[in-house]
Structure formats: structure tokens, C-alpha cells
């Protein structure tokens, strides 16, 4: 999980960069199972979450993802994008 804080004026462009550049590149990494981006256009804050098949896949992806985070941060005009790791404990999807 990562948190990006950009100016509200840059929010829509930032979401576009995340969805058209960062996530497609992450999709190519082994073990990737999905991702989502949550955002608040009024504050410019966005949270992204990626899902991995195994913890090993997640850890293996971290070097490549670090490069992608740096490139995204530069494109978004923000500083370092902090990340945190969580284990999925409850997931409910209809259907």
C-alpha cells in the first residue's frame, strides 16, 4: 500500500498517470493479483493497494516497484511515496 499526496489541481492528472503508467507496469510483475486506487480529489490524497499471490511475490516485486514509484513520484511532482505492507485478512466481493 502506498499513499500519494498531490495538489488538488493535479489530482485527475495524477490518477491518470497511476492508472495508465504505474499499474500497467506492475501488472507485468510475477505474482501480481490486482490493484486499486482510492482517492479524494478535494485533498489530492490517493491510496493505492496492490495484491500479490504470495508474500514472496510481493517481496520480489519491491525492487521493480521501487523504480516505478520513483518514476511515478517524479511524474506526479511529489516527493517519495511511502509504502506499507499488510496481509489481507478479510476480503468480500459480491458474486
Q: What is the pLDDT of residue 18?
A: 84
What CATH number does the domain located at 2-76 have? Answer: 3.30.70.100
Helix and strand element counts for the chain (H, E): 3, 3
Q: What is the pLDDT of residue 53?
A: 94
pLDDT, tens only, 79-93: 777 788 899 999 898
Q: What is the pLDDT of residue 25?
A: 87
What's the rounded Cα separation, in Å, for the pair 48 and 38?
6
CA end-to-end span of the chain, whole Å? 25
pLDDT, tens only, 19-70: 888 888 889 999 999 988 999 999 999 998 999 999 999 988 888 777 877 8
Buried b / exposed e along 19-54 (16+ C-beta atoms within 10 A)? eeebbeebeebeebeebebebeeeebebebebebee
Amino acid at each position: 500500500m502506498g499513499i500519494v499526496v498531490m495538489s488538488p489541481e493535479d489530482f485527475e492528472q495524477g490518477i491518470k498517470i497511476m492508472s495508465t503508467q504505474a499499474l500497467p507496469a506492475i501488472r507485468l510483475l510475477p505474482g501480481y493479483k490486482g490493484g486499486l486506487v482510492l482517492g479524494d480529489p478535494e485533498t489530492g490524497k490517493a491510496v493505492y493497494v496492490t495484491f500479490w499471490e504470495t508474500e514472496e511475490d510481493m517481496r520480489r516485486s519491491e525492487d521493480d516497484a521501487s523504480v516505478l514509484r520513483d518514476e511515478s513520484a517524479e511524474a506526479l511532482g511529489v516527493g517519495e511515496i511511502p509504502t506499507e505492507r499488510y496481509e489481507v485478512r478479510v476480503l468480500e466481493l459480491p458474486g
